[in-house]
Amino acid sequence: MELTAAMIHSSLPARDPFGHKGTFGKVYCLCGSVGFTGAPVFASRAAVRMGSGLVYIGVPERAWAVVAAKSDEAMPFPLPDTGEGKLALSAEEAIRRAAAPCDAVLMGCGLGRSDETDELTRRLLDLPRPLVLDADGINALAGHIDELGCRRGMVTVLTPHEGEFARIGDLSAGREDSAGSFAAEHGVYLILKGHRTVIAAPDGRLAVNPTGNSGMAKGGSGDVLSGMVVSLLGQGMEPFAACCAAVYLHGLAGDLAAAEKTERAMTPTDLLETIPQALRELERRPRGI
């Protein structure tokens, strides 16, 4: 199935005119490390752009000041780190407390890798919330993919590019078949990024996205997508619909940014700033058309 504007428009939840910030979902972005302070900012800003009412960021203490200076709408909180600016195992209890009242959790963007950070990521797989794993949240599963089994019956979304997917899966059957098989085997929703991004559900549903362009092949674009996914999950969308909507709108925003700035010159910041235009294009349509 190829995604269309009509499909995505009809799937987006209506905005309650009498709602408040608690109505539209609380999300927690466990992201970032020293040297990778842009990732939590891109992800959290994307979650705000997609309509989340409250967005929290958990970030290693040594990276907190930089992330806090860049964050206006989202709320960053410092967590214990390893001394090298990556999350330490001792952060586990604070993370669980912060995630408990939230409606969805994103883990992995810019986390960096260390033995402690990888182990912490795997320990947190049992968080009883819809969970999005990106970047180093996925890399931490290399050699430990069976640990995903603890999430059977819970909503889990993985958003790898082909290099990350190759560390945990097998691409030899081609992008669509490989994504579908992985999603079914592990009970997850898989967004296999790249040209014509593939979205696969554990029940066999599969979609291919027609939007997007090569200008999005820049560091930070994937963080924006992950923030969009966790936002829609936090707003209560059905998981496959949330993944499809986030991917389509992410690509459409990229196309709008490229039209203005060119594919060569556009940036992930431009991508963030065109999310409202992408949403407006859909919202101008009568529902179902």
For the chain, count helices (H), then strands (E): 11, 9
Q: Nearest 5°: phi and psi at 47?
A: -65, -40
Identify the CATH number of the domain in which residue 243 sits. 3.40.1190.20
pLDDT tens digits along 213-232:
999 999 999 999 999 999 99
- Rounded Cα distance, 126 and 147, in Å: 10
pLDDT at 284: 73
**Domain tally for the chain?**
1
Q: Looking at residue 289, what is its pLDDT? A: 47
Residues 258, 253: Cα–Cα separation, whole Å:
9
* Alpha-carbon span 49 to 24, nearest angstrom: 12
**How far is residue 79's CA from residue 60's CA, in Å, rounded to a whole number?**
5
- Give the residue from 247, 236, 169 showing the smallest Cα distance to 207: 247
- What pLDDT was estimated at residue 282? 84
Predicted structure pTM score: 0.96
Whether residue 150 lies inside any domain: the answer is yes
Asked if residue 91 lies in contact with residue 81, where contact means CB atoms within 8 angstroms, the answer is yes
The whole domain housing 246 covers 24-282
Is residue 268 a part of any domain in this protein?
Answer: yes
Write out residues in the chain with pLDDT < 70, as ranges: 285-289
Task: Flag whether 287 is in a domain.
Answer: no
Query: What does the chain come to in residues?
Result: 289
- The token duo for 253 is 């925003």
* pLDDT for position 285: 60
